[in-house]
Structures are given as structure tokens and as C-alpha cells.
Structure 1
Amino acid sequence: MTTRTDSSTDFTPVDQDLYAAAFQLLDPDPTPEPAAPALPAAPAQVPLPVAVPVRLTGPVEKTLTDALTFLDIHGWARGTLIHPEGARCSIGALRAAAGARNSAYCDAGNLLLDEAQRQHGTKWQSIPSWNDSHSGAQVRSVWEAAIRRAHHLNI
């Protein structure tokens, strides 16, 4: 089969500008084809802030902590409520921290004496007698244990 390719054919090439103008007349405001629906984006994995539980210090824990701080600042004494230079025994530090003989003062004293009896025996019936019969390190150990118990009991 033979194909004729000479220029004597009746074939006229398409004018592209004319072609575009014809389509413009047919559809003056073409609407673009809708895009494929976008897939929803995966939610960002933003870590939520962790709320730290709020724990208020109970009045007994505060009284014990303040009293031990008082002893650390002013010194610890034996045989006297208040030493002339400002040091205090355990009961004197409790009174200074509590400010009054209120329920926190009474409960802190009871907890301190209970801890002293746990560590040093039940023969101690008062804070002053226990305080005067032990070393500073032994007294401090009881204070710290009493503060931990008050914290644990949330009192």
C-alpha cells in the first residue's frame, strides 16, 4: 500500500488559536475538574502536657519541717528549752514553728514522740526526756522520719 504525502492534498492544518477561540465560545467560564478528594491528614501526635498532681503540705508536716529548719538555723540544745545563744531543744523548736499550742503543734509533737519511741524504745514518755538523752544525729534521725511519716500520711 502506498500513501500519498505530497502537498497537493486537501488537508488543512488546524489553527491552534482558532481552536482555543472556539472552545472559549462554547464554554466561556470553564470550571476546573474537581481534584481528587484529599485524604484527611493524620492527626499530629502532639504529646499532651502531663498535669503534675498538686499536693499541699499538711499542717503537721509543715510544723515538723519548719521546726527542723529552725534547729538547723539556730542550733539544737539539750537540758534547756532555749539556750542563751538561741539554740532550742526539740519541744522549743516545735513551739517556735507552730507559733501557738494549736492542733498542728499537738499532732506534730505526738508524731515526733511516737517516732522517737519507734527508734529508741517506749521508755521515753516525753519529748524533753528523749531529746536530752540522745545525740544530735539521733534526734535529727527521728525528726526526719517523723516528717516522712507526716508526708506519707498527708497530714
Structure 2
Amino acid sequence: MTTRTETHFTPVEQDLYAKAFQLLDPTPEPVALAAPAVSSPVSVILAAGPVHRPGPVEETLSDALAFLDTRGWAKHRLIHPEGARCSIGALRAAAGARNAAYRDAGRLLLDEARRQHGQHWEAIPAWNDSHTGPQVRSVWEAAIQRAHHQNI
């Protein structure tokens, strides 16, 4: 079966857009073509640079810290009866599953805990249970910053 396609286009009048805008606004305000005094919205957007979009690790860490901020932080148990969680419990809640983002966020958090509190920590729960709330929060914030700078 042969299908024919026509590639002939109807020529468009060059001033079509100018005429259309003139019909929409018959008395436009004159626009100076020299250097504008005010930046156009497009130039402002372009000058602002790209918007940061957090990667899955940064997002998981940020969501877990937000979970700790809203539900509370706990020691010596994964989930407190009132809803507070330890660091690993918050990480699990934020990730939703033990996926790649969960594992990478956990590695980064433990790495930052070791950087701040010594290399002897083998697991997040032991480190979490041995430190104060401000010390734990400091590690979370630093891990989020590292994930942000690494764009992960």
C-alpha cells in the first residue's frame, strides 16, 4: 500500500504576525529599540540561572529531616509509640522503600556521622542512640548539604 504525503505548504505572508498584533491592539505604545531601561521578564529569568532540582538522595534526606522535625526524634527504638522515630526510622519513612535513594542516603548520613563523630560508628542506629538531638541534627543538615553539592 502506498501512502502519498503532500509536502507543499501554503506560503505565509511575512507580516502576518505584525498585522495580527495590530488588530489586537490598534494603538500600541511605542517601544524603544535602543537599550531598554527595564529588563524584560525573559532576560530576568535567564539571568537568574537554572533552578536547583534536588536529586533522590537529597530529597530523601530532606524529607526524613522534615519527618523528624514534625513527628519527633527518638533514641533506642525505631518508632516511638507517639510517632517519633530514630534516624533510620525517619529515613525509612521518607524513602518509602529500601530503594537506591534509601541506601545512598543512609551511606551519606553514616559517612557524615563518621566525619563529625569518629570513624568507629558501624551503623546509623548505634550512632543515633549515642548522641544528642543537636548533634544528630547537625549530621543530617551536613549530609543534605553534601547531597545538594554533589547533585545526588
Query: Please, which runs of 5 or more residues in structure 2 have no aligned partner?
Result: 1-31
Once residues 114 and 42 of structure 1 are traced to their aligned partners in structure 2, the CA distance between those partners, rounded to angstroms, is 56
Of the candidates 36, 53, 57, which is equivalent to residue 54 of structure 2? 57
Which structure carries more helix by proportion? 2
Pairwise CA distance, 1:82: 0.3
Moved over 3 A (4+): none
Of the candidates 67, 80, 99, which is equivalent to residue 102 of structure 1? 99
Once residues 42 and 91 of structure 1 are traced to their aligned partners in structure 2, the CA distance between those partners, rounded to angstroms, is 60
Sequence identity (%) = 70
Aligned to 1:146: 143
Residues 42 and 76 (structure 1 numbering): CA distance in 2 closer, same or farther, change over 3 Å? closer
Of the candidates 30, 34, 38, which is equivalent to residue 43 of structure 1? 34
Q: TM-score, normalised by structure 1?
A: 0.71
Once residues 42 and 50 of structure 1 are traced to their aligned partners in structure 2, the CA distance between those partners, rounded to angstroms, is 20
Once residues 109 and 54 of structure 1 are traced to their aligned partners in structure 2, the CA distance between those partners, rounded to angstroms, is 26
Q: TM-score, normalised by structure 2?
A: 0.72
Cα RMSD of the aligned pairs, angstroms, is: 1.3
Aligned residues: 115
Aligned to 1:11: none
1:67 partner letter: A
Query: Please, which runs of 5 or more residues in structure 1 have no aligned partner?
Result: 1-40
